[in-house]
Amino acid sequence: MRKGILGLNIAGLAILFCILIVLGVVFLLWHTTYIVKATPVPMPTGLDPNFITQVDDCFLPVAALYGYDLRIVSGFRSMAEQQQIYDQGRLEDGTIVSEAPPGHSLHNYGLAVDIVDRYQGYNIDWPQLIAIGAYCGLGNGGVGDYPHFEYRGGLTTDQLAAGMRPKPLVLPCSLMAERAASNKPFTLSDLRSCGAPNFPQ
């Protein structure tokens, strides 16, 4: 039987050629999906619209069903505002209020809010509220920063600074968007229809 390049017969060469074409197509798809989407975007000047929709249409309404009346006390921060906050207790008198220098806080990318309850202040069942936040796709600042809720989508602040942005959040239930669009309150019955868990108390 006649041998071609690399000692393969014609059928073997045809198979090798097909494999190379498939690998080329896979590479192009990967490049389009991951490299093109990583093209740097400008620094934001306000809260990310997708993020704040998740806060307004999921986190705050679900928290309200558990007796919270939350308000946002800090949202987007410019680099200059972050520097000022970071300097407190370091270059200025007072207590240190932030461990994040400019560019290292998700507030700088419009992907974080700090909350407080209108009536309970910070006397909150944090494990319960953190579980509600997680249901809505939000992470929490953890010990020492419980009022902080954010979304990073697996990205570091260095990646955010380089212009990458996380995949958009999706509301866990379409009823949330419907209630928000019709300006009707989200109810406990709605939450059960969404298949949400019972959040710990």
Of all residues in the chain, the percent with pLDDT exceeding 70 is 83
Give the domain ranges of the chain: 5-38, 49-193
CATH architecture of 49-193: 2-Layer Sandwich (3.30)
Task: Tell me which amino acid residue 98 is.
Answer: S
CA dist 75 and 52 (Å) reads: 9
The pLDDT-based confidence of 35 (bands split at 50, 70, 90) is very low
Q: What is the pLDDT of residues 64-84, one digit of tens each?
A: 999 999 999 999 999 999 999
Pairing of strands 148-150, 70-74: unpaired
Q: What is the pLDDT of residues 131-179, one digit of tens each?
A: 999 999 999 999 989 999 999 999 999 999 999 999 999 999 999 999 9
Of all residues in the chain, the percent with pLDDT exceeding 90 is 68
